[in-house]
Chains A and B, each alone.
Chain A
Amino acid sequence: MANMTLKRNVMPTQDAQVRARNFDEVALGYDEQTAIDEANRCLNCKTKPCVTGCPVNIHIPEFIQKIKEGDFEGAYQIINRSSSLPAVCGRVCPQETQCESKCVRGIKGESVGIGRLERFVADWHNTFSTEQPVAPAPNGHKVAIVGSGPSGLTCAGDLAKLGYAVTVFEALHTAGGVLVYGIPEFRLPKAIVAREVETLKSLGVKIETNVVIGKTLTVDELFDMGYEAVFIGSGAGLPNFMGIPGEGLCGVYSANEFLTRSNLMKGYRADADTPMMKGGRVAVVGGGNVAMDAARTALRLGADKVYIVYRRSMEELPARREEVEHAEEEGIEFCLLCNPTEILGYQNPNDPRDPKNGFVRGMRCVRMELGEPDAKGRRRPVEIPNSAFEMEVDTVIMSIGTSPNPLIKSTTGGLEVNSRGGIIVNEDGLTSRTAVYAGGDAVTGAATVISAMGAGKTAARAIDEYLNR
C-alpha cells in the first residue's frame, strides 16, 4: 500500500550545537522501519523519470521495490549493478538536482528520499551482509587507471566486473582521491571509502599508491608495460587564488590545503604530526560545496567564528541547499554580496621578531550588488562605490575553484587540452590519443563526485568495446 504522505521521512542528524564541535557524521541514516516507510512513498511509476536523472542510471524503482519487500541485500545488488560506490553516493550526490528532481512525488509534495534510501541500503549491506564479491574469470586484457578518485574507482570497478586486469595508480599514499583528501569525515567517514576500496580489491583491482603518472611513470610507459588502454581520472589540480595583495601571508590557505591537512593528514586530531592553524576567526572565500566543507571543518577545529564570504547572493550560491542549511544551523555566518580586495597582515613596528609578524590580522572587502546576467545567466556582481570595510580574521581560506593538473598533459604527447587546461574527450570519454580515455575533474574542472563517476562508467563501457572489437 503506497504511503501518500506529502512529506518525506526526516533524516535524523546530530544536534547542531553538538556536531559543530565534533567530526562524527552529521546525518545518522534511516533505520529499517523508516526506510520501508519511505520506500512505500515510491509509486513505481512506468516512466521512471528518476533513472534518467541519475548520471550512472541506477535502477531506482527496482531497488526501492526490494526495500518495500524488506529484501535489503537484494536492493544492494540492484544498485551495485550500476554503481561501485553506493555508500559514497548516498551521502554526497546532489540528489535534489538529479534523480529526486525528476520524481513524480515531487510535483505535489516532496520527492521520495532516494539518496537516503541508497545510503540506507549500502550501510545495511556493509553492516550485515556476508556476501563476498567474487572476482570474475579474467578476460586477458590489462587496463591502467590514473587516479583513485570517484571516476577512477568507478571505471576500475566496472572493468573488473567484466574480467579486466585493472591497476589503479594513485599519487598519494591512500586511495580515494577527493573522497579522502577533500570531503571531510563528518560528511563522508573515511572508513566508508576504505570499505568501498576493499570491495574493489576483492574484485581483483590492484591499487598502486605513491605513483605519480607524468613523473614516476608516463602514459606511454604504461602502454610499454602491457596495458592496452589507459583511463585518466587525475582530478582537479592547482587551487585558484584571487590575485589580491596578502595571499602569501601566514594563515592564508587554499581550501585544498586546509582540507587535505585536516582530512588526509588527520590534522583534526590533537596528536597529528601535520600542523594546521586552529581556532580564532576564519573567513572562507567562495560559495561552493568545498567552501562549506572548509567552513564547517574550521568550526570543528575550534574556530571562534567562521564566515562564508561570497560575492553574489544566496540565490546564486552554488553549494547544495542541505550543506548551506547545515552550515547555518551550526552557526556559520554568511557574508553575501561581499568581495575581498586585500588580506591584511600583522607587523609590529617596534619588534621585527614578534612571532605574529607576517600573519593575517584581517581582510578588506567591498560590498557588491547584482547587475546584468553574464554569459551563463548568473547576475554579475558589481562593486558598490565607497563600500570598503575590514573584517577581523586570523585565517583566510580561498575556495574559488581549481585549474587542471599540468603533470599528465606536459608528459603525454598528442593529448589535447582546452584553453582552461581540461583534457578534451568525445562522448565516450576518448581523448585525442588512441586508447587513452579521461573523465572527471581532469576533463570538466571542479564538478561533483557523481558526474565523475558517470564519466568513469562511460569510459569503462567504451574501453570494453574498444578492446573487444
Chain B
Amino acid sequence: MYRIVEKKILSPTVVQLQIEAPLVANKAKPGQFIILRVDEEGERIPLTVAGTDRAAGTVKIIYQIVGATTEKLSHKGAGEYLQDFVGPLGEPTHLDGLKKVCIVGGGVGCAIALPIAEALHDLGADVTSIIGFRNRDLLILEDEFKAASKSLVVMTDDGSYGRQGNVTLPLKEMLEDGEQFDMIITIGPLIMMKFVVATAKPYGTPVTVSMNPIMIDGTGMCGGCRLTLNVDGKKVTKFACVDGPDFNGYEVDFDEAMARGRMYYGFERHAHEAACNLYKKEVQ
C-alpha cells in the first residue's frame, strides 16, 4: 500500500498528489511514468511523474478527473492509501546537449512538461514555455513555469486569461521571427501535439512528443500501447511503455493514435457516470 502524503486541488478538475513510494522517488526522471491502482478491484492507469522528492521518498502526480478511476482517485484524501504504485516506467526525456528549448504544454499535460522545463533550466538551458488551457479556471502551475523559463506565454481558448488562441499561434510567430530552438518538447492532447508538429515542420525544428496511450502492464508485455511510426517511409510498430513515452513527433501516426485512444470512449463515459452516481448516493 502507498500512502497519500499530500493532496492539493489545482483546478476544478485537476488534482495533485504526493505519494510515498521511496523506490520510485529514488529513480524517477522527467518524462517517466508510473502505473497505479486505486483499490483491489481497480484498473491500472498510467500517469506521468510530475516531480519527486528523494529525501522525503515521495512522488508527485497530477491528474485530471476524466473517467471512473480518476474519479475514484479524487475521493482519496491525504493519509489514505493507494493499492498499487509501480515505476518508474518508460525512458526519461533526453535532455543532454539541449541549449535552447521550447516547451509546449496543453492542459494537464503541463504537469508533465513542468519537470522537464525545470530539469532543462537546472542544466542551464534557455527555456521558452508556451502553456495553453481551455479557460482561466483550468490554468495550473503558472508560477512554477515562470520560475523555470526565460520567457512564458500563457494561452487560453476563450481569452479569459493570457492571450486568446491555440499554443501553435505564439509558436509559429517565434519560429517566423527566426527563433532557433534545438528542440520543441510538446506534451498535451494528441490533436495539439499533431498541430505543434505541423507548425514546426516548415522550419525543420525537431519535435519530441510525449505519448500517453491506453496501457495495462506498462512493462512491455501486453502490447496495448503500441503506435505506428513512419520511419524513412517504412511503417514501424513501437510500444510507448518501453520505447517511449517520448517519440520523434515527425514519425508518429497521430491519426491512428487518436482513433485508438477512442476505443473505449463509450465504456469510459458510462463507467465515469456510474462512479459519479455512486458517490452522489453516498453523499445523500
Question: Known contacts being A248-B228, A248-B253, A275-B271, is A238 close to B266, with CB within 8 Å?
Answer: no
Give the number of chain A interface residues (Cβ < 8 Å).
Answer: 45
A215 at the interface (CB under 8 A from B): yes
A199 interfacial contact with B, CB 8 Å: no
Separation of A172 and B69 alpha carbons in the complex (Å): 18
Is A254 a contact partner of B86 (Cβ separation < 8 A)? no
CB proximity of B63 to chain A, nearest CB, Å: 16
Are A215 and B217 also in contact (CB < 8 A) when A238-B223, A257-B223, A273-B41 are? no
From residue 37 to 64 of chain B, which have CB atoms closer than 8 A to chain A?
37, 41-44
Find out whether the CB atom of B37 lies under 8 angstroms from the CB atom of A173.
Answer: yes
Interface locus among B12-20, B128-136, B165-173, B255-263: B255-263
Cβ-defined contact, A274 with B220, below 8 A: no
B86 in contact with A216 (CB, 8 Å):
yes
Residue of A nearest to B24 (CB): A216
Contact partner of B87 (CB less than 8 A), chosen from A215, A256, A358, is: A215
Q: A266-B41, A273-B43, A405-B219 are in contact. Are A212 and B87 (CB under 8 A)?
A: yes
State the Cβ distance, B94 to closest chain A Cβ, in Å: 15
Bound-state CA distance A181–B218 (Å) is 14
B71 to chain A, nearest CB (A): 11
B89 near A257 with CB under 8 A, answer no
Q: Is B267 an interface residue (CB 8 A)?
A: yes
The 8 A CB mask of B1-44 against A (1 = contact, 0 = none) is 00000000000000000000001100100000000010001111
Q: Which one, A119-127, A137-145, A239-247, is touching chain B?
A: A239-247
Query: Is B227 close to A, CB under 8 A?
Result: yes
Within 8 A of B (CB), among A202-243: 209-212, 215-217, 235-239, 241, 243
A68 at the interface (CB under 8 A from B): no
Interface size on B, residues (CB 8 A): 44
From B85, B86, B271, give the contact of A171 (CB < 8 A).
B86
Inter-subunit contact B266/A355 (CB<8 Å): yes
Determine if A265 is an interface residue (Cβ-Cβ < 8 Å).
yes
Q: At the interface, yes or no: B239 with Cβ under 8 Å from chain A?
A: yes
Interface centre among A235, A239, A272 (most CB of B within 10 A): A239
Asked if B41 contacts A406 (CB within 8 A), the reply is no
With A210-B86, A211-B23 already in contact, the answer to whether A237 and B220 are too (CB < 8 A) is yes
Interface: B265 (CB within 8 A)? yes
Most buried by B among A248, A266, A405: A248
Contact A358 B222, beta carbon cutoff 8 Å: no
Interface presence of A367 (CB below 8 A): no
A254 touches B223 (CB 8 A): yes
**Minimum Cβ distance to chain B for residue A393 (Å):** 16
Is B276's CB within 8 Å of the partner chain A?
no
B87 and A260 within 8 A (CB): no
Does any Cβ of B come within 8 Å of A44's Cβ?
no
Does A319 have its Cβ within 8 Å of any Cβ on chain B? Answer: no
**Identity of the chain B residue whose Cβ is nearest the Cβ of A256 in the assembled complex:** B222
Asked if B152 lies at the interface with its beta carbon under 8 angstroms from chain A, I say no
Complex Cα spacing A217 to B87, Å: 10
Given contacts A274-B43, A405-B219, contact A173 B262 (CB under 8 A): no
Contact of A243 with B41 in the complex, beta carbons under 8 Å? no
CB proximity to B under 8 Å, residues A247-284: 247-251, 253-254, 256-257, 260-261, 264-266, 271-275, 277
- Name the residue of chain A whose CB is nearest to the CB of B267: A275
Across the interface, do B219 and A173 meet the contact criterion of CB distance under 8 Å?
no
Chain A contact residues, CB within 8 Å of chain B: 171-173, 181, 209-212, 215-217, 235-239, 241, 243, 247-251, 253-254, 256-257, 260-261, 264-266, 271-275, 277, 355, 357-359, 405-407
User: Beyond the given A171-B86, A256-B221, A273-B68, could you list 8 further A-B residue pairs with CB under 8 A, ordered by the A residue number?
Assistant: A210-B85, A237-B220, A250-B263, A254-B224, A257-B222, A271-B41, A355-B266, A358-B259
